[in-house]
Structures are given as C-alpha cells and as structure tokens.
Amino acid sequence: MDLNPSLKRYEHDLLHDTLPFWLTNGLDEELGGVHTSLDRNGNLLDTDKAIWAQGRFAWMLATLYNTVERRQAWLDAALSCLGFLERHGFDHDGRMFFLVTTEGKPLRKRRYAYSEAFASIAHAACAKATGDPALGRKALELFEQFQRVAMEPGNAEPKIVPGTRDAKGIGPMMIGINVAQVLRETISFDGADALIDQWIDEIERDFCKPELGAVMESVALDGSIIDHFDGRLLNPGHAIEAAWFILKESHSRGGDPRLTSLGIQMLDWMWERGWDTRHGGLLSFVDVYDGPLQTIEHDMKYWWPHNEACIATLFAASLTGERRHLERHQLVHDWAHDHFVDPAGSEWFGYLHRDGTPSTELKGNHWKGPFHVPRMQWQCSQLLKHHLNSPGS
C-alpha cells in the first residue's frame, strides 16, 4: 500500500490546518492560555477555560517543538498555557480545577484527577523544551498526585455509595501508562517501566475478557463483570486508546511479543465490537452482551475514538507487518476524513449522528480542544515516517 499520501495528509493538516486554527482563534494573548469553545469559523462561543485543555495544548505544542521543529511561536504558546495553568489551575488543597473563567476564577472542580495528569505531561514536555529542571520536578509531583487521587482507595470522592457496588475503571490506568511514557521520554523518569508493567498487568487480568472478546470499561474490584447498565457498558474508543498505549510500549521496547499480542487482541476485539457495519465509523458505546443501553448517545460518532483508531492501527501495522492493520487504518482514516473534516473550513467537527452527519457545527468545547486531532496527526506522521524509512518497506 502506498502510504505517502497519508503521511503528506497528516503533516499538511497538522501544520497548515489544525494548529493555525487553534493558534489564531484560541490563544488568549491578553490573559494567557487557550480558549477551546469555538464555532465552525473559530468565533468564541464561551470564554470559560478548561484547565485540562491548558495542559493538553501545552504538551502538544512543546512536543512539536521537541520533535518536529524548534519554532519559538510554538514554545511561547505552550508556556502561555502552562503559565495560565500554574497561576489559576490549583485549589488551596493542591488539587486542580476543571473549569475556570477567562480570568482564572474557579468554576468547577471534578472528582477525577485528569487535570493533574495532563498538567504533568505539559510540565515534562516544557522541561525538555526549555531545559528547566524545576518544570521536570513539578511534572513528577503532579504525576504522584494523580496516582494518589486516581489509584489509591479513599482519596477521590466516591462516585457511588461505598461498600454497595464498588468498582474500578480502566481510565486511570490507561492514562497513567501514557503519562509514565511521556515522563520517560522527556525527563528520563526511571520509575516508568515498573508502573507501566503494573498497570498493563491489571488491565490484562481484570478488564480483558477473552471469553467475551471484550475490554471492559469498568469492573468490580475483583475484576468480575457488574451485571447492570454501567457495568455492561463498553467504550470502544477508550479500549482502543488503551491498546495503542500498550502497542506503543511494545514499540519502545523493540517489539515485546507479549505486549504486541495483548495490544492487538484488545484492538481486534473492540474494532469488531465498535465498528458500525451499517454506516461506518465507530460507535460510542455498546453493551457487552449486545443488549440495549440506557446511554442515549451510544450510537453517536465522536471524533476522538477515530483519532485513537488511526493511531492504534498504525502501531499494529508497524509491529506486525500485517496488511490487515493497514487496511483498517485506511478504512478509519478515510471514514473520519470524509465525515469529521469541515469541507468549508478548518479543524474537525466533533460530534456526528450515526449516519455521519454533524449534530453540531462547533469545533471545540470544554472536552474537545487542540489535543486528540493534532496528537493523531503528529503520532501518525511519526509512525509513517518510521515505517517508510524501515528496510524493506
């Protein structure tokens, strides 16, 4: 298969479409940071700022500075987001907010610690870009705080009454794997391997169900399935994202057979579960027993699972050399670019109906921002360059 057109598309869209859209329309030149609630044409819909978006965009820009080109404008924008986050992202107890006003006044604080996770990778990438060791130390502190809140029982506000139906989700572990990978790559975090192995083992042991061909979104504390609506819910996008983090780990270790096998298995299961054979694209949610769901948006198509699937299939192809992974990559790449890309403007729509038509024309909100799409464009271009430059390709 000729992969050069895909490489050129990823590179072009990243540098000439996605980044310019956010740098031109989202950056707050006066108060710092980035606004993410933008309409189809880049007009501001809501001035509130999501704190995790500040960390995500700072990481993305600093990563491009570190790996693509040392453009000062990228580093300046990254440090603007990081500076806003440092000035306004923390509550008195050291935990981070989720949403603040445009000036930085607190609005919302969530029980989750994902703001800390993305702030950690932002500090790490900026530490590498600037050579400032203080940013590296802060990255490690934030990662430790993320682990305390997300992993240790009793440190996060419970989602349901404790003791009745205790559960755990795959989200903290998969995000933890990726944060550890970033810290290892940027600031040489020597504790990464042990943590990554621990969380991969737990995902394989408790969340992967070979007898059902599924990766669970949440399970009981002993790994058993909770036979209720929430417990039966599968999230193909999350599972495929976890799969590519595991495949990336195999890639970084020179092609670890066990990790490759596990990542491929998770990708295969959730592709079969999530791919919509009627309209194409990935469904947002499905039931593990193929029953009806109470989640009303289950058959919508979100932008980010398609981003994750593009990355996962390329990692699978790079590690195995199997054509079927490239064919799947081309399938999800083409469907996503045919339906999410705005034919009359820049960036992607984020939310589609099942048939692939947009449900809204906004380009960003407090969840969709300058992260999943540019991360896909960057990661896929890196993988394609590696693949095309490999002997025998």
Q: 82-130, pLDDT tens digit by residue?
A: 999 999 999 999 999 999 999 999 999 998 999 999 999 999 999 999 9
Supply the DSSP symbol for 205: I
Of the candidates 351, 343, 347, the residue with the CA atom closest to the CA atom of residue 376: 347
Residue 339: per-residue pLDDT: 98
Residue 162: per-residue pLDDT: 87
Q: What's the pLDDT band for 389 if we cut at 50, 70, 90?
A: confident
Q: 252-299, pLDDT tens digit by residue?
A: 999 999 999 999 999 999 999 999 999 999 999 999 999 999 999 999
Q: What percentage of the chain reaches a pLDDT higher than 70?
A: 98
Q: What percentage of the chain reaches a pLDDT higher than 90?
A: 92
Contacts of residue 366, defined as CB under 8 A and 6 or more positions apart, other chains included, come to 36, 37, 46, 48, 50, 53, 98, 99
Q: 23-42, pLDDT tens digit by residue?
A: 999 999 999 999 999 999 99
CA distances from 16 to 24, 56, 62, 333, 374 (A): 12, 20, 17, 18, 11
Calculate the CA dihedral of residues 352, 354, 357, 361 and round it to 10 degrees.
-20
Q: 287-296, pLDDT tens digit by residue?
A: 999 999 999 9
Supply the DSSP symbol for 94: S
Residue 127 near residue 133, CB atoms below 8 Å = yes
Burial-class residue 222 by CB neighbours within 10 Å (0-12, 13-18, 19+).
exposed
Tokens standing for residue 98: 């989720």
Beta strands in 101-252 (DSSP E): 106-108, 167-169, 208-209, 214-215, 218-220, 233-234
Given a cut of 90, is residue 158 above it in pLDDT?
A: no
Given a cut of 80, is residue 137 above it in pLDDT?
A: yes
Query: Can you tell me whether residue 99 is helix, strand or coil?
Result: strand
Q: 315-329, pLDDT tens digit by residue?
A: 999 999 999 999 999
Beta strands in the chain (DSSP E): 37-38, 44-46, 49-50, 99-100, 106-108, 167-169, 208-209, 214-215, 218-220, 233-234, 286-287, 301-302, 351-352
Supply the DSSP symbol for 27: B
Per-residue HEC secondary structure of 269-303 comes to HHHHHHECCCCCCECCCEECCCCCCCCCCCCCEEH
Backbone angles phi, psi at 358, to 5 degrees: -65, 135
Geometric angle at alpha carbon 363, from 358 and 364, rounded to 5° = 125
Query: Can you tell me whether residue 220 is helix, strand or coil?
Result: strand
Q: 168-185, pLDDT tens digit by residue?
A: 999 999 999 999 999 999
Computed over its alpha carbons, how large is the radius of gyration of the chain?
A: 20
Q: What's the pLDDT band for 357 if we cut at 50, 70, 90?
A: very high
Cα 355 from Cα 369, distance rounded (Å) = 23
Contacts of residue 153, defined as CB under 8 A and 6 or more positions apart, other chains included, come to none
